Each structure stands twice: as structure tokens, then as C-alpha cells.
Amino acid sequence: MRIIKKIIAVIIITMLMFIFGGCWNYREIESLAIVSCAAIDEGENGGFYITVETVIVEASEGNVKNVPQYTELNGDTFFEAIRDMITVKGKKLYWSHAKAILISEQVAKKDISQALDFMYRDAEIREDTWILIVKGTKAGELLKSGAEAKEVMGFKINDVLKAQSFVSRFFSIPLFDFLELLSDPKTSTLAPTIQLIEVDNKKLTQVIGTAFFKSDRLIGYLDEDDSKSLLVIRNKLQRGLYVVNDVTKPGVNVALEIFKNKTKLRPYVQDGALIIAINTNFEANIAEITGSVDLISDEGRVKLKKIAEKQMKQDLEKLIKKAQEDYKMDFLNFKNVIMKKQPAVWKQIADDWDTVFPEIKTEISINVHIRGSAIVRKPILVGE
């Protein structure tokens, strides 16, 4: 009996090895074109013009390097264009390693949801794939700008967006979070912007600034300063630099390196008016002073603190004015704050949110704690 049990156990184990010893959707890597990035422009006669960056491994002198290749096709739909790329590459595109999707201004201004519908449905697209809006040039042209240097643009963009907290000059968002926000008519969806700049006669890509949407259409942009204020209000700013201008006298600027920021929004009703109190706390070091003014001593830091807090408050007020008066769009996330902290109030105003939002009053309180001045305790003194 024991022998029979052992034989049965061996048979079962052998069968399980065959069943679980492979992958259900296994495919040879040689049969796939690994996508790192894709760019979506308007098509020649409607539809879309798609540029796809794929990666091959190139070995030279003992070194192995990822090298980009580009395929471009027109299609009435995104899916038609990328499926037809099989006729050019001889391989099916594999999307699980795609790092970013670049959308041109023209496509974003018309209906961005049409361009992204395939990605919302496709099982290969990863949730952490980034979405960016291309300013000033075609998305495909920007994607191919690293071809001469054999630079894989998808990998570079991924590195930049992951390091966002060190610069805090744009609002980054993964593709699937972006698509989820598109379905909310009362909230403005955001995405970082990318552009080509020229440095020493070379074209470089730069991720800077933020695009905002109403429903599925691009409405406008926030520059790098407004983007930083946006991150503060939405409690997304972690690190970065903040430059305080004209401290004590014109031309004396101070760069503060931010180590920590915490912002709390508290909505309340007073005398029938809806008010949102914005309280934000910064911890920073003095990273640079463009002048010989003493702002490092205790007395100097008190002066700097007051000037920095005043300028930061003005920056936040400027962004709030832009949202409420210029565009009447809630990219500040006020709606979600009210829903969470004052649900009864939200029920009363939800149907009239478009008219209520511009009338909301704000109270801003800023506290800047300057911890020190790196390893230097005295300003640079210049003899006269």
C-alpha cells in the first residue's frame, strides 16, 4: 500500500511540474518589439499619426547598450496604426515595458480620450506608464530627438519623472490615474508638459510646467512657478528649491532648499460664506545667497523668514486667482477636500459647483522654518 501511495505521489508531482513549469502567455523575446515610448499626433487625413520607440540591445567592444528604433504609421485609430506596424517591423509590439505616452497639443485640445482608449483597454499597458503633453512641436519629433545620440527617450522620461520631488516644477501623473480623473466633470485633470529646448546648438528635452484639462480637452498651462504653488496647495511638494527674490535690497536673491513641506486644507462655513483655510509649513536650508548681506545670523534669518513667507503667500494667491477668475476651473482639488471634510456642505453645493467654486474665499497661513545654511555659517563678505 505504501509503495502504491509513493507511486501516485510521484505521478502527481510529475504532472504538476508540466502544468506549472511554464508561463501561460509565454512568448519568445525575438518575436516581440519591446516598446519604450509612443507619441500621438494628428493624422494626415484625420485619425492619428503614431510614432513608436522600440528598444534593441546592441553589443560593442564588450559593452551592452539599449538602442532606440522608431516606427511611424498613420491610422484611423491608434490600434489600427500600431497593428499595421507588424507589416513594417515583422514583429508584434509588446507594451508591458512602455514608460511614457506623449500627446501632441493638437490631439489634446480636441479629445484626448479618443487617443487613449486603446491603452485603457489593453492588458499589456502598465499602471505606472506616464502621460505627458508635448508643447511647441510634434510629439513624434520630440520622441525622435534623441536618435542621433542613441538615447532611449522612454527611459530618460521615466528617470526625470521619478526624480520630480527634487525639482518640483511639474505635476506628474500615471496614465491610469489620469484616465480615472477624466471621468469627473467637476475636477480638472492635470499632466506634465515636455518640450524641446536648444542648448549649445543641441536640442534637448525638458519636462517643465503642467497642462490642465476640462473634461477631455486641454485648456491651458501652468508655468514652473505656478506648478510649484500647485504642488504646495495639493500637498504634493516634497523637496526642491524656492528662490526668494530681492531680499533686503534689489538683486539679492536667496535659494532655499526645501526638505519638507506639509499643507493642510480646512473648509468651513462662516456667515454663509464657504472658506478654505490653507496652512502650509516648510523646512528649508539656505542653499545660496547672491550677495554679501547677512541672512545667516539669527537676526538675518528672521528677516529672510518674513520675506519668504510673504512671497510664498503671494505666489499661492496668484495661482488661486488664476483658477477662480481666469479659468474658473478647480485644478486646486478644492472639490475633493470639501467632499471629504465637509460632506454635508458638499451635498448642498454639488449641483452648482461651477458657480460656487469661483466664489470660495481662502485664508492662507505660511510658516517657513529655516534650519541653517548648509556647512557655512557666515555670508561671503566682499571688501570695498
Task: Please give the grid coordinates belonging to residue 10.
Answer: 510521484
Q: Which residues pair with 270 in a beta bridge?
A: 273
Q: How confident is the model at residue 137 (pLDDT cuts 50, 70, 90)?
A: very high
* pLDDT for residue 383: 46
166: in domain:
no
Q: Which of 229, 233, 232, 189 is nearest to 211 (CA)?
A: 189
Residue 298 domain boundaries? 237-384
Give the three-state DSSP class for 117.
Answer: helix
Residue 250 lies in a domain: yes
- d(C-alpha 135, C-alpha 105), whole Å: 6
CATH of the domain at 297: 3.30.300.210
46 occurs within a structural domain:
no
What's residue 312's pLDDT? Answer: 96
Q: Which three cell numbers stand for residue 320?
A: 488661486
Q: Count the domains in the chain.
A: 1
pLDDT > 70? residue 182: yes
Does residue 222 contact residue 230 with C-beta atoms inside 8 Å? yes
Tell whether 74 is covered by a domain: no
Q: What is the DSSP letter of 240?
A: E
State the chain's mean pLDDT as an integer: 87
- Closest listed residue to residue 263, CA positions, set 170, 367, 371: 367
Q: Give the angle 278-282-287 at the CA atoms, nearest 5°.
A: 145
Residue 32 belongs to a domain: no
Does some domain include residue 287? Answer: yes
What are phi and psi for residue 38, nearest 5 degrees?
Answer: -140, 150
pLDDT tens readout for residues 33-91: 889 999 999 998 888 999 999 998 877 666 778 889 999 999 998 889 888 888 888 88
Three-point CA angle 114, 118, 123, nearest 5°: 155
Global confidence as pTM: 0.86
pLDDT for 257: 92
Other Cβ atoms less than 10 A from the Cβ of 160: the count is 21
Cell of 34: 519591446
Residues 112 and 211: their CA atoms lie apart, in Å, by 12
